Amino acid sequence: MWFRAFLDPPARAAPWVAYSSIAAMPVIAGRPGLLSLPALMVGVPLAVTGLALGLARMVWVINKTSLTDGGPALPDPGALNSGPMRTRWFNLYGYDRRLFLLLLALIVELGLLGGHDAPREAGLWLWCVGVYLVGAANYTRTSPSEPVRTGETPNA
């Protein structure tokens, strides 16, 4: 199940799991109290798994697009911000915004609640696990929401 989920093309949230995990790492690293056993057991796997999920999704989008349009298997970094490549990479963006907001809240939480107070730290790491579970569940199970259909010919 998990292996399949890792390769699962319809993943939606993985990029945000990855980006937010990366964004959270400096906060984690900047707090000595968090470089503890719980941090190693929960925080690092959280970030690494999120990164892996994000990369899996990223590689899939690029390969899928490349397979169908005959384009390069990997993007030219210099072209990422222009023209068609921007469109291709922009595909990585438009997914589950609810999860994005949750992860944004995680980062804020890390900033505001972090410290050396044990109950607070426990709460913080519970929050991390919760967010990871939401991300993983979203990655493996959630179908994308129906596209917004407007106008007289919503599919055309």
Partner 1 sequence: MLEVHQFACLSDNYGYLLHDPASGETACIDTPDAEAYLREAGHKGWQITQIWNTHWHPDHAGGNAAIKAATGCTVIASAAEAERTAAVDRFVAPGEIVALGDFEALVIDVGGHTMGHIAYHLPEACLAFVGDSLFALGCGRMFEGTAEQFWATLARLKTLPAETLLYCAHEYTASNARFAVHADPDNAELAAYAARVAALRSEGKPTVPTTLARELKANPFLRADDPDLQARWGHPGNAVATFAAMRAAKDSF
Q: Which residues bind to partner 1, rule: CB under 8 A?
A: 8-10, 64-65, 68-71, 84, 87-88, 91, 143-144, 146-147, 152-156
Minimum distance of partner 1 from residue 154's CB (angstroms): 7
Nearer to partner 1, 87 or 105 (CB): 87
Nearer to partner 1, 34 or 58 (CB): 58
DSSP letter, residue 32: G
Interior angle at CA 23, CA 20 and CA 29, nearest 5: 125
The per-residue DSSP string of 60-110 comes to: HHHHHHHHHH---SS--GGGTTSHHHHHHHHTTTSS-HHHHHHHHHHHHHH
Minimum distance of partner 1 from residue 152's CB (angstroms): 5
Minimum distance of partner 1 from residue 28's CB (angstroms): 32
Nearer to partner 1, 81 or 143 (CB): 143
Minimum distance of partner 1 from residue 56's CB (angstroms): 14
Q: Please list, in sequence order, all residues whose beta carbon lies within 8 angstroms of the beta carbon of residue 61, skipping any fewer than 6 positions away.
A: 88, 91, 92
